Amino acid sequence: MYSEAVLDHFQNPRNAGTLDAATATISVENPVCGDILELSVRVDAGRIGEARFRTRGCVTAMACSSLLTELLRGKTVAEARGITSEQISEALGGLPPSTVHGAQLARDAVQSLVAKLS
């Protein structure tokens, strides 16, 4: 059911944990399934230098959160604004319709983060 990329990010999450001295920290929740994503970033010289996450949720939510931190690193806030749930899904090998909510949660986190940093 899950792609190799989803399983890899779930079993070996990148950038999991909290971020000391974060520029911004946000939390988003999917009220339907209860998944929660807390995302922290540090902005240096106008670019996201570091990103960390803590997620409580399903396999897909964990994998999308992990991938999101990789996508954010090195981007400006304006560039981060362009990250879509479709881009996240495609980068993970395509998500089945029943699990695409993980990518939408990550996209909601990006929107909340951009709003806080703007």
pLDDT digits (tens, 9 = 90+) for 29-47: 998 889 999 999 999 999 9
Residue 100 near residue 85 (C-beta atoms within 8 A): yes
118 pLDDT above the threshold of 90: no
Mean pLDDT of the region 99-114: 96
Give residue 29's domain range: 4-116
Residue 29 near residue 45 (C-beta atoms within 8 A): no
What is the domain-level CATH number for residue 59? 3.90.1010.10
Q: What is the pTM of this model?
A: 0.95
Number of structural domains (the chain) is 1
11 pLDDT above the threshold of 90: yes
- Residue among 118, 113, 105 at smallest CA distance from 34: 105
Q: Please, what is the average pLDDT of the chain?
A: 96
Mean pLDDT of the region 85-110: 96
Torsion of CA 1, 8, 74, 28, to 10 degrees: 60
Mean pLDDT of the region 2-11: 96
